[in-house]
Amino acid sequence: MKIELVFIPSPGVGHIRSTTALAKLLVDSDDRLSVTLIVIPSQFSKDASSSVYTESEDRLRYCLLPANRDQSTQQDFISYILSQKPHVRAAVSELVREVSTRSGSPRFAGIVMDMFCTSMMDIADDLNLPAYIFYTSNASYLGLQFHVQTLYEEKKLDVSELKDDSDVKFDVPTLTRPFPANSLPSMMLDKEWFPYIVRRAKSMRGTKGVLVNSVAEMEPQAVKFFSDGNGNTPPVYTVGPILDFKTNGDGEDEKRREILCWLEEQPPSSVVFLCFGSMGGFGEEQTREIAVALERSGHRFLWSLRRAYPVKSMTGSRPGEFTNLEEVLPEGFLKRTSGIGKIISWAPQVAVLESPAVGGFVTHCGWNSILESLWFGVPTAAWPIYAEQQFNAFQMVEELGLAADIRKEYRRDSLIPKPEIVSAEEIERGINCAMEQDSEIRKRVIDVRDKLHVALLDGGSSNAALRKFVQDVIENIPS
């Protein structure tokens, strides 16, 4: 029986890339499957594609929604997703009609929507189609979302009331140790946004299943919680690591070659790589602290340096470049480090982490970045910025012992009036810990690297979870 799934990824680059990689993995694993991705245009660009994935392949197609040139970039992300709902509904309806007319009697099997697109759930309901979630973060954080919803609805704890009580810790069933409130995402600590968190968790509970970009062996506590059927949750499939190794950064080939050529000239495991994701940047004072830490550490470095967006305009601005590094960095820094360091803006992150020269990675703890570093066996130093990155940092540092700590509870987002400055001493300590060659962290990272590679092989845990998902999809097809 031929079956068709439609995927609705969030327009964020990391989400589109990982969703595309999952779709390719699915169609490659089962020749009965075809997938169509409905690509929502970027909020920050007039380019409708939002990604480099525009060429349809055999059994993998793209439906690019038209860009709204009048769309305000100042609109918050959740409202922007809602504004795209009529376009998504029309595209799915047309796809259902088109599939029904194909020869060979294929069956439309359901909609797989991104964790940030749960507001699209009623599209599936209206068309009498099963709904699934692709959860681009980890299983432990999924458990936290379900848990805070339960605590709130049972009137046991409203975590948004913990904003000013940073010493509080509480148990989370997908973690083995108490979780500190100061590592909760800002949206959970905000009275205005917390109801959205609760609604999203409630919506996910109503789906037929959740595909999670993680590996069973990496999160045994979370896997046990979900497999035991606790908490009235849908089936959870740990199908990761879902990684996309396609060259990122259209038109950046020359810069990419320059960066990789520089890395080829460096000794093995000698370079610390600093990169903070598509929204990660810092102000002048914080940038100087990083520079001081790098110089004191004595390590070779590759630094993706970008100027921070104004905090109050996070929804409308992306990090930019400093126009004059000499004015921002400590006097003489560029000259003194010219033989051991390289400052860049854009970074081909996957290719850099794959380089034998890279021995450590200072990261914002985005889940894709964490998985990429683990895939290549590169220890990290945790410096979260926004979203669920504080949770990821806690998990990597405290729960799993896979990362050094710079400041795991740090945050810089639109809900924080004035972020604190992380000192050069903290940064240097984290860098040195991540770069230590015979450390326990490095040994654990290598062990997890091997487990991630095995999980995707035939008979591996993620491969088995993917097959189980396809089996359940077929069983859930409406009669």
Tell me: pLDDT of 49 over 60. no
Do 207 and 326 fall within a single domain?
A: no
Region of poorest pLDDT, from 52-66, 305-319, 320-334, 375-389: 305-319
C-alpha–C-alpha distance, residues 89 and 123, integer Å? 6
Segment (H or E) for 274: strand 271-275
Task: Using the predicted structure, report yes or no on whether residue 145 has a pLDDT greater than 80.
Answer: yes
Q: Does 48 share its domain with 186?
A: yes
As a whole number, mean pLDDT of residues 329-334 equals: 97
Quick one: 461 and 375 in the same domain? no
Please state, in angstroms and rounded to a whole number, the distance separating the CA atoms of residues 434 and 375: 16
Asked if residue 387 has pLDDT above 70, the reply is yes
State the average pLDDT over residues 326-341.
Answer: 96
Report the percentage of the chain scoring pLDDT > 90: 78
* Residue 186 CA to its chain's centroid (Å): 16
Helices and strands in the chain: count of H runs, count of E runs: 18, 15
- Whether pLDDT at 326 is above 50: yes
Q: Is the predicted pLDDT of residue 366 greater than 90, yes or no?
A: yes
8 Å CB contact between 134 and 112? yes
Q: Give the per-residue pLDDT at 100.
A: 86
pLDDT tens track for 417-448: 678 899 999 999 999 999 999 999 999 999 99
- In this predicted structure, what is the pLDDT of residue 475? 96
Do residues 416 and 278 touch, judged by C-beta distance below 8 A?
no
Tell me the residue ranges of DSSP E strands in 41-145.
60-64, 107-114, 131-135
Q: How many residues does the chain have?
A: 479
Residues 130 and 110 sit within 8 Å (Cβ to Cβ): yes
From residue 277, alpha-carbon distances to 52, 280, 297, 401 in Å are: 18, 5, 23, 22
Measured distance CA(20)–CA(36) in Å, rounded: 10
Say what the pLDDT of residue 417 is: 65
**Does 185 lie in the same domain as 327?**
no
Domain that holds residue 380: 253-452
Q: Say how many Å lie between the first and final Cα of the chain, rounded.
A: 14
| Distance of alpha carbon 127 from alpha carbon 113, whole angstroms | 15
Answering whether pTM is above 0.75, one says: yes
Is 15 catalytic? The answer is yes
pLDDT at 33: 95
The whole-number pLDDT of residue 5 equals 97
The answer to whether residues 39 and 179 belong to one domain is yes
Domain count, the chain: 2
Reported as a pLDDT band with limits 50, 70 and 90, residue 379 is: very high
Q: Which two tokens mark 398?
A: 């405290």
Average pLDDT, the chain: 91
Residue 314 has pLDDT above 50, yes or no: no
CATH of the domain at 314: 3.40.50.2000
* Active-site residue, from 15, 147, 299, 364: 15
Residues 277 and 363 in one domain: yes
Instruction: Report the DSSP beta bridge partners of residue 415.
Output: none
Rounded Cα–Cα distance for residues 374 and 441 (Å): 11
Task: Tell me, yes or no, whether 267 and 290 share the same domain.
Answer: yes
Do both 75 and 174 map to the same domain? yes
pLDDT at residue number 416: 72
| pLDDT digit string, tens, across residues 28-42 | 999 999 999 999 988
Mean pLDDT over 359-365 rounds to 98
How far is residue 450's CA from residue 115's CA, in Å, rounded to a whole number?
Answer: 28
Catalytically annotated residue among 47, 58, 87, 114: 114
Same domain, 174 and 93: yes
Residues 105, 110, 112, 116, CA torsion sign: positive
Q: Are residues 421 and 471 in the same domain?
A: no
How many CA atoms does the CB half-sphere of 69 hold within 13 Å?
0
Name the phi and psi angles at 375, rounded to 5: -60, -35
- In a shared domain, residues 189 and 281: no
**Do 230 and 311 belong together in one domain?**
no
Query: Quick one: pLDDT band at residue 71, thresholds 50, 70, 90?
Result: low
Give me the residue label for tokens 């396609």: 246
User: What phi and psi values does residue 39 have, to the nearest 5 degrees?
Assistant: -95, 110
Helix (H, G, I), strand (E, B) or coil at 374: helix
Could you say which DSSP state residue 398 is in? Answer: I
Residue 164: the pLDDT is 77
Whole-angstrom distance, CA of residue 249 vs CA of residue 254: 11
Give me the residue label for tokens 């604190």.
Answer: 420
Percent above pLDDT 70 for the chain: 92
Are the beta carbons of 89 and 57 closer than 8 angstroms?
no
Bridge partners, 238 (sequence order): 212
Would the pLDDT of 362 be above 70? yes
